[in-house]
Structure 1
Amino acid sequence: MPDLLLAGAALGLWLLAYAACRVATRPVPPAALPATMDLGPEPPAVAGLLVNDGSTHAGTAGSTLLDLAAAGYYELRQPDADPHGTTIHLAGEHPDEGGLRPYERQVLARVRELAVDGVVPLTALTFRDDNESRTWNSRLRAAVVADARAAGLSQRRFGPTMMTALYLGALAVGVVCGLVAVHQTHLRWTFLVSLTVAAVLAGLVQRIGERATPAGSEATARWLGVRSWLRNHQQFAELPPSAVAIWDRYLAYGAALGVTRQASDVLDLGAGVRRNLWSTYHGGCRRIRVRYPRGRPWYGSGTPALFLQALLVVLAGTLVLIVAGPAGWYSLPGYVLLTGGAYLLIRTLVDRTRSVTITGRVLALHLRRAQDSPRVSHLVIDDGTADETTAWALPHEWGDRCRQGDVVTIAVRPWSRRVIAVSAHAPADPGPRPSAGPDSELTGPLVTDVFGEVRHVRAGPLPVSVEDVARFVGQPVRVERRPQRVDFRSELDDTTVLRAAWADGTAGRIAWRANARGVATPLPGIGDEAYASGNRVVMRVGDTTLVLTALGGGRMGAPHLPWLLSRCERDALTRT
């Protein structure tokens, strides 16, 4: 018994020291700066790492994918109102990759690997194998962490001195446990217990995560201000991935900061989409992180099944004590089983006597695999109180009482997380519908524009004439109208050769800010102000911003884009 007490005391002291280190180094988010639209120098993936308390999340890969599109490595095209139909079109001439970071090259390599003739559906980037997804995303996140550390923005949560002390402590605990095992069994090979214990404790230290440096805290406060500014624009959450053509890097940063619900739903480069869901319950748009319990035999079990589990554990412990005797090393498993059975029995009794009522929106209803449990499903509910939740176990007899999107009230048993009653209050929201008014009298289909709004196509004057575009590309073109956007398509091969997109008000100011910075070249004498950058030109007329982008075969005429921009009619732009 003294040997066991010695091993337990050593392990307990180490765990106390580990807990103290966690408390001393817990991430404390800085106070957010005032809402601002000024982007910092950090890439979207690093900005997301800082805002999420040093942990990477589902938006890391998606935000990098959007950032590469904003940089011109490929284009995102949405052929209809469904953003899930978005396709990626690789640039004909590969841009210089010398300045790309390792994780950006990794995302670009994934796109090129799956592309056929330079085109790949956006949804095809999702991994179909869980192990492949985990390996790929782990490598991506490790590269993001390394980039943040190299920039002096992030550091390991435990410093070198603290980690060394914990590693040495883990080794000491392992040695003590190994000596106790040898002393009790008189078998030398049981000293391997020390290696096992030391490895488990060292693993806890290794996976502790990141925390921001002082410079990282300053950057975090700034990015929290950017997130607040983006959240103030309700339509931003509904932007599709193709809106990167106008919003430029703002959309990428929105995905990294957890603001773009629509784009992030489509941009899934992992197999774990069930763990990151979006909710609009109680207003706003929030990403909800979902945990699915594993290794809990009591999860979702009813009271009879829990009592049976407790009885079997107690019987197993009793049999071990009868065979091994009440004293000695071999009796330890028996005492452990008896303690576990007693704990299970007490928790079952307490769980039986109390229930909790929760009201919220159903985010997901997943049928569990047969080998896990054929009797319950995973029910994910957002009650509006936190951005993290754990799935409830819904018996199949209650499965027809609710569906995704419903607002329901459920009665649950907290410990076993079993749902015992369901009542629905409101059916699933069928989504926005076009309201009657001026737009209802417009001709053309109902489509989603580059700003995420569902509208009818307006038949107004074009900001640039078809004749000028035909002269620009050297071939006849036809017009394909969309709200606040016009695609000029070649009549020879039906490919888009030029895209004209415009916006006014706040959206126009954002589009101007996004496109008239960096290496853009001023174009004097055009509109109120104009710039050129690569295959894109931008012009501001009053509060309206127009962007012309040469695509496909139209790229050959990119040097003549300033001439085409100069031909745009100011009156047509303001009346379109």
Structure 2
Amino acid sequence: MSQSLSAGLSAGLGTSMSQSLGTNLSAGLNMSLEDQFYWAGVGLLVLWLAVFGLALALTRNGAVHPGPATQEFGPEPERPAVVALLANRWRSVDHAAAATLLDLAARGLVEVRQPADDPAQSTVHVTGKEAADLTPYERRVLARITEQAGEAGAPIGAIAFRAQERASAWNAALRKEIVAEARLRGLSRSRFAPMLSGVLAVAAFGPGVLLGLGGTTGGHSIRGAIGVGVLPSIPLMYVLTRALGERATRFGLERAGHWAGVQGWLRAHEDFAPLPPASVAVWDRYLAYGAALGVTTQATRLLGFDAGDKRRVWSSYGGVWRPVRIRYPRLRPGFGATPAQLLQLAGAAAVVAVGLALFAALRQPEWAVTSGPDASHSLRRPGLLLTLGWVAIGLLAIAAAGRFGRWTLFLAFLATMPGNYASGHGWLIHGMDSSGPLPGETAAIAVFAAVTACYLVLAVLERRAPHTVTGEVLRLEPRKREKAPRFLAVDTGDTDRTIAWALPAGAPELAPGSVVRLAVSPGTRTVRSVELRTA
């Protein structure tokens, strides 16, 4: 009985599966060529993601088993920069540059002095001692220190770069050199084999090609088909490039476990973490390895090889190192504007002041509907009349200022919303009954009248002869808008504070550290001309 039932179920299941397979096959054969390309593209996309996920799972780093706490580095210890790569799980080389500087100091190539109680006032000096066994990344760090310190030394804060682009390029090159050293010692390897990463990179364009062919066969334009084809390749290449990196070898995991034991021994000393950089004279290479392992917090905070603080920059212009504080006048009226732009802005402010005054003087209570069946949905509601008037004046001012953008009308629509709920805003209803400007309108008229006068005065002052400023470029900071003038901070050597100038967008690039002579307009802080000079 059970055997016959099983045989019947098997026969029925086999029949149903064969019928389903035949139905799906015939449906697939009945699909248009366009649909076949689309489904093939989706299938290839799913396959790529599956292979990529499997590759990620198979190339994960193994677990690091910390060894016993020890103060021994080992017979042939890795340099602190390589230890930083191991301590950061092969993902980054954070603190590697600071650790290398401290290691150079421990080996006598660099000297760190702390003349006062504040560790931030420490200075770094190059001793001139020769060393033949320096690695490429150690030579890079030493070259940066020599560039800034010279023969007289420099504050440790002066090691930081003044431009983000240069800092990024320098640190990227440093990481490549550290990774090369780790691979040479058998501690690290590429996460994906070259063949696997190459196949994944080429296959990432496969789904896009099939989807693009589907769009072409479907009668879509070539431009649309190309857009559909390129679209899936962008995120695939992004996730692939993010995944490319380093992973541990078996020997690398063993050494990482040993250095985790050193880290535990260093952390057992409570007074080790707040040690200043100058304490390398007492702690020798332990301070460098503590920085690489993330234990020495204060030393790594003070020894930065990044873009530095854009509001506080160390400068030696004038012969003495000192910190110069920079202020960026982001809300200054007319900052970086030409005389024509100042007149345009004055006209826009005048439109608001005059428009509000006329609107307040001309409006009458009879314009509004406050009762009756049309009071709730009529365009003559008091609140809606007021908000429409204010928004119309604002749109005229924006148009006069030349700042009309694609979001302007949408924001103007949102600004009229309070007028649609006048029942909840009684002051809007009573506003139409008032004669003359409302208190808020009076304040706005006064403010925009003052702004108009300010821009007109600035436009008149721009006709004066420019002032001359000579100094060293501290920083050149971009703005969010490409056409907006950039911030140019210059140290004139006679003050510890400076206000950034407005360098027009079309002006040439100025490297931090170069000496320039500027012709400027103090009112708008606009740079009219730039002349490079020798230091």
Greater strand proportion? 1
TM interval, short-chain normalised: 0.3 to 0.5
TM-score by length of 2: 0.48
Greater helix proportion? 2
Give 1 or 2 for the bigger CA radius of gyration.
Answer: 2
